Amino acid sequence: MIETLFFDAGGVLVFPNWERISAALARQSVNVDARALAGAEPKAKRRLDLESSIQETSDAERGWQIFNLILLEAGVPLSPATDVALADLRAYHDNQNLWEFVPPDVEPALARLRVLGLKLVVVSNSNGRLRHLFDRVGLSERVDVLLDSFEEGVEKPDPRLFQIALERSGSRRETTMHVGDLYHVDVVGARSAGLQAVLLDAAGLYTDVDCPRIQALADLCELLSPTVRAEDD
């Protein structure tokens, strides 16, 4: 039985503001549609989600490497102009957190999971501005506990962050499942802490992995509802 859900934040609950990113590029005369950037992101993340890349880089380093990969996937050559745009976006991110778009299905899914009696915990690699972001976009009241790796001094896939989350939330590892969007960060990290893990694979790019996959949070509700109802009965 699952009693607690851990969630990654970026790529699961919140996403980059592609309109803001497109506008920042346009100010440097680099024209690319926000939808093209959003469509390129899953492929870029998949390219970066390799065991060697994860082990050799920090989350902060990967966070900005991926934007160059997204531009390339969207057919945009890298240039001094894209560098300036990304520097401007990084400054915004350091203050506000650029992952500020909440898809319309997120809040209903979290509400439904709470109705099922599940404890909801955010376990995220972030930059110290995650609480500010969640307050700003209205998600703070939707979860029970929030952990920002910057504040904790350790980041996924290190199992210590998951252990801190278990202790902070009063959860048991055998009844806790983690949901993330990067296999070698979220699934490997959660398993190393003794947790179950589910990969959010919206674009269907992880056909070769050895874990359950979902394409949307609504799928998670369907996955867990029978188990929770069975326990309630």
Indicate the CATH number for domain 4-13+102-232: 3.40.50.1000
What distance lies between CA 211 and its chain's CA centroid? 17
In this prediction, residue 233 has a pLDDT band, given cuts at 50, 70 and 90, of very low
What is the mean predicted confidence (pLDDT) over 33-49?
96
Can you give the three-state secondary structure of 145-197, one letter per residue?
Answer: EEEEHHHHCCCCCCHHHHHHHHHHHCCCHHHEEEEECCHHHHHHHHHHCCCEE
Q: What digits encode the pLDDT tens for the residues 53-65? A: 898 888 888 888 8
Q: Which residues, in sequence order, are bridge partners of residue 6? A: 121, 178
pLDDT per position as a tens digit, 93-140:
999 999 999 999 999 999 999 999 999 999 999 999 999 999 999 999
Q: Mean of the pLDDT values across residues 132-160?
A: 97
Is the pLDDT at 182 greater than 50? The verdict is yes
What's the mean pLDDT in 50-76? 90
Say how many C-beta atoms besides its own lie within 10 A of residue 198's C-beta.
21
- The pLDDT value recorded for residue 229 is 46
pLDDT at 228: 56
- Mean pLDDT of the 24-42 span: 98
Q: What is the pTM of this model?
A: 0.93
pLDDT of residue 55: 86
Taking 90 as the threshold, does the pLDDT of residue 227 lie above it? no
DSSP string spanning the chain? ---EEEE-SBTTTBB--HHHHHHHHHTTT----HHHHHHHHHHHHHHH--HHHHHHS-HHHHHHHHHHHHHHHTTPPP-HHHHHHHHHHHHHHHHH-S--B--TTHHHHHHHHHHTT-EEEEEE---S-HHHHHHHHT-GGG-SEEEEHHHHT--TTSHHHHHHHHHHHT--GGGEEEEES-IIIIIHHHHHTT-EEEEE-TT---TT-SS-EESSHHHHHHHHHHHHHHHH-
pLDDT of residue 231: 47
pLDDT at 64: 84
Show the tokens assigned to 88.
Answer: 């401007």
Write down the pLDDT at residue 220.
92
Domain parsing of the chain, residue ranges: 4-13+102-232, 18-96
Band the pLDDT of 206: cuts 50, 70, 90.
very high
